[in-house]
A and B are shown apart, each in its own frame.
Chain A
Amino acid sequence: MSNHLQNDLEKSLVEKSKAAKWVNDRLPIIGMLENVLLKHPYPKNLSYWWSFGSIAGIALVVQILSGLFLSMHYVANTQMAFNSVEHIMRDVNYGWLIRYIHAVGASMFFVALYAHITRGLYYGSYKAPRELLWWIGIVIFLLTMATAFVGYVLPWGQMSFWGATVITNLFSAIPVVGESIVAWLWGGYSVDNPTLNRFFSLHFLLPFLIVGVVLIHLVSLHTVGSNNPTGVQIKTKKDIIPFHPYFTIKDMVGFVAFFLIFGYFLFFYPNSLGHPDNYIPANPMVTPAHIVPEWYFLPFYAILRAVPDKLGGVLMMFGAIALLFALPFLDRSKVVSGAYRPLFKKVFYLFIINFVFLGWLGKSPAEGWYIWASRFSTFYYYAYFLVILPNLPKFEKTLPLPESIDADFQKNH
C-alpha cells in the first residue's frame, strides 16, 4: 500500500528545513524515515493490544543499553564471573541499578512478547497476508529465548550452571550424534569455562541479530499493513490514520504504563522474578534440590517433563513452538479476527488459561498428580492447534463482519 499520509499537523522536515532538504536530495534517508516512522498509515481502530509491539521494541533497546554497560564490568571466566557480578552490585557506580534493569528488563521483554503474541493469536494476525510477518515474529521469539538462556548462564550461579547443563543436555537426546553435539556446544566434557566464554560472545551477538530481524519484521508489517480488531483489511483512506501523532502518542501511554510496572519490580522486588539459588556460586558437584528455569520458559519446561521419554519430551517441547509456524495453515477459518468467532473465543480463552496453568505446573515438583495434570495440559495445547483450529470452521457460525474499518469505527465511537 503506497498511500502514505501527509500528517495534517506538521509539515515534513524536508519542507521545513533547508539543511534537511540538502541532505535528503543527496541521500533520501530523511524522507524515508519520515515515511516509515511518521507517515505510515495504520488502521484507525487499533486498541492498546497493538502497543505491545512498540513496547517490546523499547524493552529490546533497554536490554541492549543496560547490557552494553554491564559488559564493561563483567568478566566471562568461571573463576571471576560470579565475583564480577557482585563487583557490579557493590562497587560500580549505579551497577546495582543497571544489573537489576537488565535482569528485570528480561522478564519485562517477555511480558511484552507474550502479550504481543497473544494479541496475534486472538485477532488472527497470522493469517493471509501476514503469514511471513508471523513467521519472522516467531524467529524473533526464538532468538529472544536463546539470548535469555545464554544470558542467564553468565552470572555463574547455581541456577546458571545447572540451567546450562540441563538445556544443553536436551541435545543429547538426538540419536547417534547427540553426545558429540553436546560436547561441541560445551567445548569440553561438561559446562565449563569454554562454555561460559562462548555464551558471553553469543549473548553479545544475538541481540543485534534480533534488531536485524525486528527491522525485517517491520518491513513486512509495512508491506502487508497492520491487522486490526475487526480483522478486515484496509480498503479506503477513511480506514487509516498516520502513525504520528496518533499512535506515537498512544504508544507513549503504553510506555508509561509499561515503565511503571517495570519500575515497581525494579525498585521494590528486583529479585522476585529470579531464583535465590542463583546467588550461590556455581558448583559442578551439587545440583540444587529444585531446579526450575526462569518463569518465561516454564510452560515449555512443563511440556518437556510431561513426557516420560527423553527424546519424546524434547521433541514435544520444541514441537510446541514449531506448531506456531504451522498455525497459518492449521486455522482454516476465513474470518480473521477472533472477535467474530464465538466458538473460537471459548477455546482460545481455555488455551490461554491452559498455558498459564502449564507455567504453574512447570515450577511445581515433577511428581504425583502434577505429572498427570501436565500431560492433560500438554494434550490440550497440542489439540488446540492440531484438532480444534482445523475443524472449528465446520461447526462455527461466525458473527457478521463490518463492511469496513471505518464502518465499525463509526458504529463504536
Chain B
Amino acid sequence: MSEKSLSPKDESRRKLLTATAYSAAGIGAACAILPFIDSMNPSSDVQALASTEVDISSIKAGEEKKVMWRGKPVSIRRRTKAEIEEANAVDIKELRDPQTDAERVKAGKEEWLVTIEICTHLGCIPIMGQGEYKGWFCPCHGSQYDTSARIRKGPAPRNLEIPPYEFVGDTKIKIG
C-alpha cells in the first residue's frame, strides 16, 4: 500500500464520491422505510367499513339517534322548529368558530343535524339536550354547544364536526 498524500483535486473527487454514495444509500433507506410506515395506516378492510347507511324514519322531533361510524359515535338529531330558530338567531360574529346554521345542514333538510358526537376539546362524548344552550354539554370539562352543535362556552376550540353524509331518499342517510 503506497502512502502517497492526496492532491486537493483527488480529495474533492473523493468527497464527491463519498457524498454521492451516502445520498444514494440514504434515498434507498428512506424508500425502504416507507412501506413499513404505511403498513400502520388503516388497512383495506378498515377502509371498507368507512360508510354506513342509517334508517332515520323512527326518529321523532327533539330526539337523536346514535350510530357508530369508523368506530366513532355519530349523532343524527331531528331538531324542533324552536331549536332551528334558536340556532339561526345567533349573531355569528359572537361565535368562537363562526359558522351559520345553514352551513351545517343540508338545504331543505334543516330539520336534520348530523354531527360526530365527540367534543373537540379532548374527545369525550357530550350529552345531547343539556347545557345553557340546550345543544350539547360535555361532562368532562364543561364545554357547551348550541342547537347547531357550535361551541359557545368552555375549553373546546371548534364546533362538533359534521361527517360527510347524504340523503338516500327521505328516510335514509348514508354516512361516509
Contact = CB atoms under 8 A, between A and B. Distances in A.
A92 B36 contact: no
A252 B38 CA distance: 27
Contacts, number: 37
A93 B39 contact: yes
Interface residues of B, number: 12
Given A69-B40, A72-B40, A93 B45 contact: no
A90 B43 CA distance: 9
Contact of B35 (A44, A90, A94, A252): A94
A98 B43 contact: no
Interface in B39-91: 39-41, 43-46
A222 interface: no
Contacts of A65: 36
Contacts of B43: 73, 87, 91-93, 95
A95 B45 contact: no
A139 interface: no
Contacts of B35: 93-94, 97-98
B39 A91 contact: no
Nearest to B36: A69
A97 B37 CA distance: 12
A94 B44 contact: no
Contact of A94 (B1, B38, B46): B38
A94 B40 contact: no
Contacts of A91: 43-46
Contact of B36 (A44, A87, A98): A98
Interface in A49-105: 65-66, 69, 72-73, 87, 90-95, 97-98
Nearest to B42: A93
Contact of B39 (A72, A90, A252): A72
A177 to B, nearest CB: 44
- 6 shortest interchain CB distances as A-B pairs: A94-B35, A91-B43, A91-B44, A91-B45, A93-B38, A92-B43
Given A87-B45, A93-B38, 14 more contacts: A66-B36, A69-B40, A72-B39, A73-B43, A90-B44, A91-B43, A91-B46, A92-B44, A93-B44, A94-B38, A94-B39, A95-B43, A98-B36, A252-B25
